[in-house]
Copies of this chain bind each other. A is one copy, B any other.
Amino acid sequence: MRIGELSRATGIPVPTIKYYLREGLLPAGELSSPNQAAYGEAHVRRLRLVRALVDLAQVPVAQVKEIVASLDADDVPLHDQIGRAHRALIPARKQTASAEAREVATAEVRELLQRRGWQVEADGPALATLIETVATFHTLGQQNLVGFLDAYAAAVEQFTELEVEAVTAHPTRDQVAESVVIGTILGETVISSLRLLAQESISARRWS
Contacts and interface: CB of A to CB of B under 8 A. Distances in A.
A21 interface: no
A14 interface: no
B190 A148 contact: yes
Given A148-B159, A201-B119, A196 B179 contact: no
B155 A155 contact: yes
Contacts of A124: 197, 200
A37 interface: no
Interface residues of A, number: 89
B52 A96 contact: yes
* 7 pairs of A and B residues whose beta carbons are closest in the complex: A130-B193, A126-B196, A155-B155, A79-B207, A160-B198, A118-B201, A55-B94
Given A142-B183, A152-B190, A164-B202, 16 more contacts: A56-B133, A56-B136, A79-B208, A90-B196, A118-B197, A120-B204, A126-B196, A126-B197, A127-B193, A129-B193, A130-B193, A133-B189, A152-B159, A152-B187, A152-B191, A155-B191
Interface of A: 11, 45, 48-49, 51-52, 55-56, 58, 78-79, 82, 86, 89-91, 93-94, 96, 98, 113, 116, 118-121, 124, 126-127, 129-130, 132-134, 136-137, 139-142, 144-145, 147-149, 151-164, 166, 168-169, 179, 182-184, 186-208
